[in-house]
Amino acid sequence: MSELAVQVSSSMDALMKEYEIITHNLANVSTAGFKRRSNAFSKALDEQNSPDQTYSPGIVELSTAFDFSQGNMTETGRELDFALMGKGFFVIETPDGPLYTRNGVFSTDQNGQIVDMQGRTVAGESGLITIPQNVSVSELFVNADGSVSAQGTTIGKFRLVDFGDNQGKLAPVGNNCFAMTEEGVQSDAAENIVVKQGFQEASNVQVIEELVDMIMVTRMYEANVNFLDSSKEASKSLLSVALG
């Protein structure tokens, strides 16, 4: 395979990956606390090709990153719905270690412990948060700092963490959760963060922006296909001439 063909094939693979990222973002437009994944490959490739130039597949490094910007607040009135305002994450306890999420749609299990949508326990600052049997969920009050109380008694406090400049090193592990896979990176207690009970943080996916990106990716992919077809036709013509 020629160097040019390898370059075009690489560009097409990168564009296909970006297309998959965009469709994943759009599929989660209604997922509470979802953070979109961004990929600027198509934009960078487009900038290499001005309107008055012949299209070239170009060489652009593929890199993706999560956009952790704040989503809008949606009021639900549900006592175990929580939205975070500011930088930070809830901590989910798992046998494989802690996970981190912005999705605060919780419930209680048979033991009265606060759990996420997959039934995994939500960490508190001093251990798991357990609702006493004589306390109704409707009696729960969660303060802005994440402390949970009922009937005038404090039950626990959500553990809220922040990774500061290392936030970009978090890796997705499914179910709207992240894990810190790089050794030695520690979280700190989240500061300047507010917990809003009875609210959900909406996904930060902007549908129009994603659709515009999808159109660009599709256009760039088609341009690569056309470029490759033109190159093949040119090679055939040269071969025909050479063979007489």
**What are the pLDDT digits (tens) for 57-112?**
454 455 678 999 999 999 999 999 999 999 999 999 999 999 999 999 999 999 99
User: What is the rounded average pLDDT of the residues 119-134?
Assistant: 94
- Average pLDDT over the chain, rounded to whole? 85
Question: Would you state the structure tokens that stand for residue 82, as one six-digit string?
Answer: 């929580």
% of the chain beyond a pLDDT of 70: 80
pLDDT at 233: 52
**SS3 call for 168:** helix
pLDDT at 239: 44
- Among 12-16, 23-27, 138-142, 232-236, the range scoring the smallest mean pLDDT is 232-236
Q: Which of 98, 135, 141 is nearest to 120 (CA)?
A: 98
Q: DSSP state, 193?
A: -
Cα 90 → chain centroid: 15
The more confidently predicted of residues 183 and 240 is: 183
- Residue ranges of alpha helices (H) inside the chain are 3-27, 41-47, 207-243
CA distance 195 to 91: 14
User: What is the rounded average pLDDT of the residues 147-168?
Assistant: 95
Question: Would you state the structure tokens that stand for residue 137, as one six-digit string?
Answer: 């969920």
Give the model confidence (pLDDT) of 39-55 as tens digits. Answer: 765 455 555 544 444 44
